[in-house]
Structure 1
Amino acid sequence: MKILSLAEQFPGPYATMLLSDMGAEVIMIERPGLGDPARQFPPLFRALNRGKRSVALDLKSTEGLARFRELARSADVIVEGFRPGKLDALGAGYEAIRKINPRLVHVSVSGYGQDGPYRDRAGHDLSYEGVGGLLADQAETGKPGVLPAIPLADIGAALFAAIAILSAVVSSQRTGNGRYVDVSMSDAVVSMLTAFLVPAANGTPLGDFIAEPAYGVFTCGDGKLVTLSIAHEDWFWRPFCEVIGKPEHAGLKGRERVARKDELRQEIAAVLVGRTRDEWGQIFDGAGVPWGPVNSLAETLDDPHVRARGLLRTLAREDGGAEVFLVQPLKFDGFETELSGPPPAIGADNKTLLGEGPV
Structure 2
Amino acid sequence: MSALDGLRVIELCQVMAGPFCGQVLGDMGADVIKVEPPGTGDQTRVGMGQHAFRAVNRNKRSITLDLKQPGDVAVFHRLVETADVLTENFRPGVAARLSADYDTLRARNPRLIYASISGFGQTGPYAQRPGFDLIAQGAAGVMSVTGEPGGNPVKAGVPVSDLSAGLFCAVGILSALHARERTGEGQRIDTSLWEGALALGIWETAELWQTGVAPQPLGSAHRLTAPYQALRTRDGHVTVGGNNQKLWRRLCAVIGRPDLPEDPRFVTNPDRMAHRPELVAELEAAMVVRDTAEWVKALLEAGVPAGPILDYAQVVDDPQTRAREMVVEMEHPEAGTVRGLGIPIKLSATPGTIRRPAPLLGQHTDEILAELDGG
Which of the five TM-score ranges fits, normalised by the shorter chain? over 0.9
1:37 and 1:102 mapped to 2: Cα distance? 31
Task: Tell me the secondary structure at the aligned position of residue 161 of structure 1.
Answer: helix
- 2:331 paired with 1:307: no
- 2:238 paired with 1:226: yes
Higher RCO (CA < 8 A, seq sep 6+): 1
- 2:23 paired with 1:17: yes
Aligned to 2:8: 2
Aligned to 2:115: 107
Of residues 308-317 and 341-350 in structure 1, the stretch that sits farther from structure 2 once superposed is: 308-317
Aligned to 1:241: 252
Q: Displacement of 1:113 after TM fit?
A: 0.2
CA gap 1:205/1:332 in 2 versus in 1, 3 angstroms: farther
Q: Displacement of 1:8 after TM fit?
A: 0.8
1:92-135 C-alpha deviation (Å, 9 max, x unpaired): 11111111110000000000000000001124111111111112
CA gap 1:126/1:291 in 2 versus in 1, 3 angstroms: same
1:309 and 1:12 mapped to 2: Cα distance? 26
2:363 and 2:29 mapped to 1: Cα distance? 20
Q: Displacement of 1:229 after TM fit?
A: 3.1
Task: Tell me the secondary structure at the aligned position of residue 250 of structure 1.
Answer: helix
Q: Is the contact between residue 168 and residue 191 of structure 2 (CA under 8 Å) also seen in structure 1?
A: yes
Aligned to 2:95: 87
Q: Is the contact between residue 103 and residue 172 of structure 1 (CA under 8 Å) also seen in structure 2?
A: yes
1:289 and 1:302 mapped to 2: Cα distance? 25
- 2:85 paired with 1:73: no
CA gap 1:203/1:270 in 2 versus in 1, 3 angstroms: closer
Q: Displacement of 1:90 after TM fit?
A: 1.8
2:199 and 2:94 mapped to 1: Cα distance? 26
CA gap 1:10/1:234 in 2 versus in 1, 3 angstroms: same
Matches within 5 A, 1:1-359: 1-40=7-46, 41-137=49-145, 144-201=152-209, 203-204=211-212, 210=223, 214-221=227-234, 223-231=235-243, 233-251=244-262, 252-318=267-333, 321-355=336-370
Q: Displacement of 1:42 after TM fit?
A: 1.3
Q: Is the contact between residue 146 and residue 155 of structure 2 (CA under 8 Å) also seen in structure 1?
A: no
CA gap 1:278/1:10 in 2 versus in 1, 3 angstroms: same
1:321 and 1:140 mapped to 2: Cα distance? 42
RMSD: 2.3
1:146-196 C-alpha deviation (Å, 9 max, x unpaired): 332111100110110110110011112221111101011111111111332
Task: Tell me the secondary structure at the aligned position of residue 188 of structure 1.
Answer: helix
Q: How many residues align?
A: 354
CA gap 1:334/1:4 in 2 versus in 1, 3 angstroms: same
Q: Is the contact between residue 211 and residue 261 of structure 1 (CA under 8 Å) also seen in structure 2?
A: no
2:80 and 2:277 mapped to 1: Cα distance? 60
- How much identity, in percent, do the aligned residues show? 34
Q: Displacement of 1:202 after TM fit?
A: 5.3
Of residues 318-327 and 300-309 in structure 1, the stretch that sits farther from structure 2 once superposed is: 318-327
Equivalent residue letter for 1:245: G
1:323 and 1:24 mapped to 2: Cα distance? 22
1:130 and 1:21 mapped to 2: Cα distance? 31
2:156 and 2:62 mapped to 1: Cα distance? 32
Q: Is the contact between residue 137 and residue 155 of structure 2 (CA under 8 Å) also seen in structure 1?
A: no
Of residues 30-39 and 308-317 in structure 1, the stretch that sits farther from structure 2 once superposed is: 308-317
1:112 and 1:196 mapped to 2: Cα distance? 20
Q: Flag structure 2 segments of 5+ consecutive residues without an equivalent.
A: 1-6
Q: Is the contact between residue 212 and residue 261 of structure 1 (CA under 8 Å) also seen in structure 2?
A: no
Q: Displacement of 1:316 after TM fit?
A: 2.4
Q: Is the contact between residue 214 and residue 268 of structure 1 (CA under 8 Å) also seen in structure 2?
A: no
2:239 and 2:149 mapped to 1: Cα distance? 25
Aligned to 2:3: none
2:303 and 2:25 mapped to 1: Cα distance? 36
